Amino acid sequence: MSNFIFSNNFKNMAEDSNLNIAIISYHFSEDDRFYNSRPLLVYQVIKKWSNFNKTSVYCSNFDHFKKSHVNFINEDYKAIKVPTYKKNISFMRLFSYTIFSLKLLANLELKQYDIIYICVPPNSSAFVGLLYKFMFKKLVVIDVVDLWPEGFPLSQMIKVFIEILTKPLRNLLFKQADLILTQSDYFRDKLNFSDSKCKTLLMGSSIQPIVESQLQESLKDCIRLLYLGSLNTIIDIDSLVEITRKLAKYRKVHLTVIGGGERLEYLQEEIKNIHLNVTTAFYGICFDSEIKEKEFSKAHFGYNGYIDSTEIALSYKSLEYLANGIPLLNSTKGDTANLVKETGCGFNFHPRDIDVLVAKILGLDDNTHATIKTRAIEVFESNFSWAVFQERLSSLLEDIL
């Protein structure tokens, strides 16, 4: 009988055009320069949807990239004060996540919402939505933006130990939700939920893809590599250095880095040690659209390499590369690797097979490279564009209503 009443509650929701929805995400940015921010895209899609009367975002007041507190302008964004942390892998980061979840649990404002949409990690946020699901009959959506503990950049022995302790509880929590979304097929397969309520919602982006190909320096004159994003412990910097080193034996190479992080100095020192045939441009963390557009138009390849122990199938940087017609040098697994293999929008590589990758790059002529650029844009438009993301998310929410 209780299940029948619960189902009727959801049926009534579907007929109600004045639903309230709360999006919960510790990490959130309202800056339009973060074109690939998934929680922001979710908010923008739902905000435009006529089914919802009130849309709010409950997030932390801490910026993960700048490592500082932030203030929000939009009144829909309800910032929760949390402790700061300086290192991505640290006790203070976990402590900050815990405080965020505890404050959410104590926030009875959530009772006014019909649907609670939770971006995880932190996985502890799932407790909040599920408590409201069972106590107050709320509809709960869990959006798996990253896969923890599998995604921790730790030694294999430690990861196995942590997974044994935490995976069963995480999976039990997630299975209680009314809809589980994963940002890649790879994540969905890793969760191994046979339940039909687990769906893939690929990453999306509001970037406008380039329409016309820019004239570039010939590959014979100089091979231009681009790295975009944070330089942290999960990025395979050694492979980037090795690719640059081996290409420089045969051609002039230019490496552009737009981003910063704890391993920036290490990369700079390693590249300096190559000496011959390598020039560089390090911009640090940069949001200047003119600089980015200039460097994007020149780049022959975008580096999308992660250390092998991480569980990453799609990255925000790869979307930006593709939207700008920059072929990928990719070592991620799953979705991106499959797209590269099936469409030819770049090259997959493994750190132990860099010689094979270098030979492929050196074997390209400019006309073939131009064809690969076109494929990159087509892959973005058909898989990750704003229109595709909006249609898919709206369809998934309509299904559960």
pLDDT digits (tens, 9 = 90+) for 19-48: 899 999 999 988 755 556 889 999 999 988
What confidence tier does 348 reach under pLDDT thresholds 50, 70, 90? very high
Whether residue 299 sits in one domain with residue 268: yes
Tokens describing residue 120: 């995880």
For residue 66, the tally of other CB atoms under 10 A from its CB is 10
Specify the amino acid at residue 97.
Y
Cα–Cα nearest to 174, from 201, 192, 162: 192
Residue 166: exposure state from Cβ atoms within 10 A (0-12, 13-18, ≥19): middle
Domain that holds residue 116: 2-204+385-400
Whether residue 339 sits in one domain with residue 393: no
308-317, 341-350, 370-379, 392-401: range with lowest mean pLDDT: 308-317
CATH classification of the domain holding 252: 3.40.50.2000
pLDDT at 146: 84
First to last CA, the chain: 20
Angle between helix 316-323 and helix 366-383 axes, rounded to 10 deg: 120
Whether residue 184 sits in one domain with residue 279: no
Residue 285 forms part of a structural domain: yes
Residue 189 forms part of a structural domain: yes
Residue 311 forms part of a structural domain: yes
Alpha helices per DSSP H over 183-261: 185-191, 237-247
Whether residue 122 sits in one domain with residue 241: no
Whether residue 283 sits in one domain with residue 228: yes
Whether residue 346 sits in one domain with residue 234: yes
Whether residue 324 sits in one domain with residue 234: yes
Residue 217 forms part of a structural domain: no
Whether residue 277 sits in one domain with residue 147: no
Entry pTM: 0.84
Whether residue 244 sits in one domain with residue 155: no
Whether residue 390 sits in one domain with residue 378: no
Whether residue 293 sits in one domain with residue 152: no
Residue 210 forms part of a structural domain: no
Question: Which residue has 């589980």 as its token pair?
Answer: 180
- Chain-centre distance for alpha carbon 95: 23
- Chain-centre distance for alpha carbon 155: 23
pLDDT tens-digit profile of 168-220?
A: 888 888 888 899 999 989 888 888 887 778 999 998 888 887 766 566 899 99
Whether residue 236 sits in one domain with residue 161: no
Residue 24 forms part of a structural domain: yes
Answer yes or no: are the C-beta atoms of 261 and 231 closer than 8 Å: yes
Work out how many domains the chain is built from and give that number: 2
